[in-house]
Amino acid sequence: DQQVKQNSPSLSVQEGRISILNCDYTNSMFDYFLWYKKYPAEGPTFLISISSIKDKNEDGRFTVFLNKSAKHLSLHIVPSQPGDSAVYFCAANSNSGYALNFGKGTSLLVTP
Amino acid sequence: SQTIHQWPATLVQPVGSPLSLECTVEGTSNPNLYWYRQAAGRGLQLLFYSVGIGQISSEVPQNLSASRPQDRQFILSSKKLLLSDSGFYLCAWSSGGEQYFGPGTRLTVT
């Protein structure tokens, strides 16, 4: 069963605006969350992570928000740039496990 | 800095043929190593992970096997490929929470 869900398969945003990518999870044991960016025919690139002891982590244009009670996290990209166009994967794991549980990804298109 | 290599980049194999994909990591010692597969329209699925030489854990029962003959080498194999083995295979390493991925191998089984 899919423990990490990205319900929007695609998102289109204008350059300069904010991109918000959403992710929900079902396993309450997850305590570490990551976002990866993937271009076609390449491996995913790690973007940003957040531990369950925090509710926000920021790195440049990228901010991840975690709402533990709702089992929801989001990635904000501000301002969005055409080079941000890629598939974004949300992932989660627990302290007791090695596996990263991935969502199916959201394809972001940033238009000029 | 750490780098991770995978080869080949693309592979087309007939059904029933064997498979060997190789992954090597540089710049780190005793990493955890992982094999993932991304099938068309699906997310990344963990196939195997290894916490040390000769130590392999399988996450999903299937037609594939993995081996770790050296600290920084991870091999994915199959004796007889199935059509359903087609996909994008990714090797990854970690030494903490984040996992870092290689460039991937696109496998098409015909």
Q: Is the pLDDT of residue B104 over 80?
A: yes
Q: Is the pLDDT of residue B42 over 80?
A: no
Distances in Å between the Cα of B13 and the Cα atoms of A3, A12, A13, A85 are 32, 37, 39, 32
- List residues of A whose CB lies inside 8 A of any B CB: 2, 4, 32, 34, 36, 41-46, 49, 51, 89, 91, 93, 98-100, 102-105
To test the contact with chain B by mutation, choose from A25, A34, A100, A104 the residue with the greatest count of B C-beta atoms within 10 A, namely A100
What is the average per-residue pLDDT within A32-52?
92
Q: Is the pLDDT of residue A100 over 70?
A: yes
What is the reported pLDDT for B68?
96
Tell me what percent of the residues of chain A surpass a pLDDT of 90: 88
CB contact under 8 A, B44 and A89: yes
Provide the mean pLDDT of chain B.
91
Q: Is the pLDDT of residue A91 over 80?
A: yes
Distant-in-sequence, close-in-space partners of A74: CB < 8 Å, separation ≥ 6: A20, A21, A22, A23, A64, A65
Nearest to A97 by CA among B30, B34, B44, B100: B34
**In this complex, which of A32, A100, A104 lies closest to B42 when CB atoms are compared?**
A104
What is the reported pLDDT for B62?
79
**The A62-67 sheet, strands edge to edge:** A4-5, A19-25, A72-77, A62-67, A56-59
Give per-residue pLDDT as tens, A21-35. 999 999 999 999 999
What is the average per-residue pLDDT within B18-31?
94
Query: If you measure CA to CA, which chain A residue comes closest to B90?
Result: A43
Q: Which residues of A touch B57 (CB under 8 A)?
A: 98
What is the reported pLDDT for B29?
87
Q: Is the pLDDT of residue A96 over 70?
A: no
Give residue for tokens 């398969």.
A9
Number of C-beta neighbours around residue A51 at 10 A = 12
Q: Is the pLDDT of residue B24 over 70?
A: yes
CA-CA distance, B108 to B37, in Å (whole number)? 13
Could you write out the three-class secondary structure of A43-108? CCEEEEEEECCCCEEEECCEEEEEECCCCEEEEEECCCCHHHCEEEEEEEECCCCCCCEECCCEEE
Burial classification of residue A43, based on how many CB atoms lie within 10 Å of its CB (0-12 exposed, 13-18 middle, 19 or more buried): buried
Give A92's pLDDT tier (boundaries 50, 70, 90). very high
Q: Are A34 and A46 spatial neighbours (Cβ–Cβ below 8 Å)?
A: yes
What is the reported pLDDT for B97?
77
Chain A nearest-CA distance from B50, in A, is 9
| Greatest CA separation for chain B | 39
